[in-house]
């Protein structure tokens, strides 16, 4: 008798399993659809295992099956969108949600989400209002801009700006700036979608003013500069400064736009970092339109900000795409909460988590690491050596890719399990911990750990090692 056929025949029936689970289902209030899906998925998985051959151990009895079902129910009921602990030391980590909101931004967000609001209602006149008016003047104040518009993200900002200003016309860009920024944002592709025609000038490493000048025709609609974001060229390079491109644009009657990417409103040199042009500086250089992200160095919600000349921003506002790319009330509420802090720069640096983490002193980070070690040490878990080591964090979000921020990490050296197991298991903790594996050690960079997470993190680690060992 074929052993496989025998095993398949012995698989339990879904309805019978559900009956067996009924007490559990009732006690836990598990929706029947979830229970059924869990049972089906589990049996299917075992069936596939049998069909694929190989050494498969079947659950030995009903209670073994039941524990598989209960596990699966747990997995299906757990929220997919999970909070995680960022121990990578990358402050603006795109895969982990980029910027954390400030308390002020969070409060605005919660109020805006749970209550009705004046999203498009003018409380003064009692008439319909504009959602954009709620943040536009604040952005203008802070950036020193004539006009501003906020859309879904910076990719959308670039798209709608190109579509409005340069559809059916040529846009001149340096070859050194035709970059791809992770997550499939490529300038040539966005350009194609906008209906503008890309004209590349210069060489990969060097572009001169005369390259732009020679490429200008009667079909040219825009001169575009793009921040190279997470990409740097070193060595024999040359790029045209904004002022020179602006002067050329003025002579030829052409607008100049800059996609600034991260777009900071404050000078990073105050943190001892290399200078990155601020939004204010780029506007002051005469650039007509500047676009940047809301959730990179600005430290707010996902959004794309467009600032610049009023006639151009007004044109963009009237583009029907604007309705499709518009921001929602959550973004608007939390963006306002974020922006207000910038009226006092030192306040912004304390209150906006992204800026606070970038500017955090080494001694503060070291103290935080010591607190974590002390808490873990009190429970003295076996199976792992913990130590304090210097490390290097990153800003992330395409800002200063080659620049490291000196930091401190808690280093874990497991005794009985390989570090890859640790890395995997930590991703499966109640609140997953994402860290860095270096030289066969697991590192938790304490720059991106919040003070409020220390107790939780220590408890999870102690519990993990008490179970593993
Ligand atoms: C990040 C970035 C973008 C995309 O911004 P999103 O807000 O992620 O859409 C576009 N251009 C540059 C230069 C960037 O750095």
| 295 CA closest ligand 1 atom index | 7
Q: Write out pLDDT tens, residues 295-328.
A: 999 999 999 999 999 999 999 999 999 999 999 9
Instruction: Quote the CA–CA distance of 464 and 337 in Å, as a whole number.
Output: 38
Q: Answer whether residue 183 shows pLDDT above 80.
A: no
The overall average pLDDT reported for the chain is 94
**Nearest residue (CA) to ligand 1, atom 15:** 261
| Residues contacting 363, CB < 8 A, separation 6+ | none
Predicted pLDDT at 280? 98
Mean pLDDT of all residues in 401-426: 94
DSSP codes joined into one string, 305-331: EEEE-HHHHHHHHHSTHHHHTB--HHH
**pLDDT of residue 185 exceeding 90:** no
DSSP-assigned states of every residue in 251-277: HHT--EEEEEET-BSS-GGGGTPPP--
Is 180's pLDDT higher than 90?
A: no
Binned at pLDDT 50, 70 and 90, residue 53 comes out as confident
398 lines ligand 1 (CB under 6 A): yes
Q: Is 454 in the pocket of ligand 1 (CB under 6 A)?
A: no
The structural domains of the chain, ordered by start, are 3-77 (no CATH), 85-93+358-468 (3.90.1150.180), 103-351 (3.40.640.10)
The residue nearest atom 14 of ligand 1, judged by CA position, is 261
Q: How far apart are CA 213 and CA 223, in angstroms?
A: 10
Nearest CA to ligand 1 atom 3: 261
Atom of ligand 1 nearest to the CA of 229: 15
Ranges of beta strands (E only) in 14-160 are 85-86, 90-92, 147-151
pLDDT tens sequence across 331-371? 999 999 999 999 999 999 999 999 999 999 999 999 999 99
- Whole-number Å distance, alpha carbon 93 to ligand 1 midpoint, is 13
User: Which ligand 1 atom lies nearest to the CA of residue 155?
Assistant: 9
Residue 426 has a pLDDT of 97
Indicate the pTM of the whole model: 0.93
User: 153 CB less than 6 Å from ligand 1?
Assistant: yes
Q: Which numbered atom of ligand 1 lies nearest the CA of 262?
A: 15
CA 83 from chain center: how many Å?
13
In this structure, what token pair is assigned to residue 69? 């079902």
Residue 28 tokens, joined: 């836990």
Euclidean distance between CA atoms 35 and 15, whole angstroms:
11
Give the nearest ligand 1 atom to 302 CA.
7
CA distance 39 to 73: 8
pLDDT at 381: 79
Average pLDDT for 43-59: 86
The residues that bridge with 438 in the sheet, in sequence order, are 441
At residue 11, the pLDDT reads 93
Q: Is 259 in the pocket of ligand 1 (CB under 6 A)?
A: yes
């Amino acid at each position: 008798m074929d052993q496989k056929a025998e095993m398949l025949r012995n698989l339990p029936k879904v309805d019978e399993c559900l009956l067996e689970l009924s007490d559990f289902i009732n006690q836990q209030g598990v929706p029947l659809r979830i229970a059924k899906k869990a049972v089906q998925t589990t049996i299917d998985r075992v069936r596939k295992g049998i069909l694929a051959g190989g050494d498969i151990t079947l659950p030995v009895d009903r209670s073994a099956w039941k524990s598989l079902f209960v596990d699966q129910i747990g997995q299906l009921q757990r929220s997919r969108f999970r909070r995680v602990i960022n121990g990578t030391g990358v402050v603006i980590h795109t895969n982990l949600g980029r910027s954390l909101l400030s308390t002020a931004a969070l409060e605005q967000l919660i109020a805006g989400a749970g209550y009705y609001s004046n999203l498009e209602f003018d409380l003064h006149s009692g008439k319909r209002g504009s959602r954009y008016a709620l943040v536009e003047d604040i952005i203008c104040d802070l950036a020193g801009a004539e006009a501003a518009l906020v859309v879904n993200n910076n990719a959308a900002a670039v798209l709608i700006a190109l579509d409005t200003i340069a559809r059916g016309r040529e846009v001149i860009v340096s070859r050194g700036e035709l970059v791809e920024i992770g997550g499939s944002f490529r300038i040539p592709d966005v350009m194609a979608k906008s209906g503008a025609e890309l004209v590349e000038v210069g060489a990969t490493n060097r572009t001169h003013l005369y390259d732009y000048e020679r490429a200008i025709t009667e079909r040219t609609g825009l001169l575009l500069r793009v921040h190279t974001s997470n990409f740097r060229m070193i060595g024999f390079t040359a790029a045209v400064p904004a002022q020179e491109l602006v002067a050329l644009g003025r002579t030829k009657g052409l607008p100049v736009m800059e996609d600034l990417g991260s777009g900071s409103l404050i000078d990073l040199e105050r943190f001892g970092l290399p200078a990155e042009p601020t939004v204010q500086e780029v506007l002051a250089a005469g650039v007509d339109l500047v676009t940047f992200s809301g959730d990179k160095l600005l430290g707010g919600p996902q959004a794309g900000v467009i600032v610049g000349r009023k006639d151009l921003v007004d044109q963009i506002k009237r583009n029907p795409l604007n309705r499709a790319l518009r921001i929602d009330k959550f973004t608007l509420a939390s963006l306002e909460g974020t922006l207000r802090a910038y009226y006092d720069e030192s306040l912004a640096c304390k209150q906006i988590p992204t800026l606070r983490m970038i500017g955090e002193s080494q001694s503060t980070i070291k103290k935080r690491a010591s607190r974590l070690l002390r808490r873990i040490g009190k429970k003295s878990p076996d199976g792992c050596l913990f130590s304090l080591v210097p490390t290097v964090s990153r800003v992330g979000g395409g800002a200063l890719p080659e620049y490291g921020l000196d930091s401190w990490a808690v280093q874990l050296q497991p005794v009985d399990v390989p570090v890859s197991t640790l890395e995997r298991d930590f991703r499966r903790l109640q609140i997953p911990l994402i860290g860095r594996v270096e030289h066969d050690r697991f590192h938790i960079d304490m720059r991106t750990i919040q003070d409020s997470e220390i107790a939780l993190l220590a408890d999870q680690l102690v519990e993990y090692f008490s179970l593993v060992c």
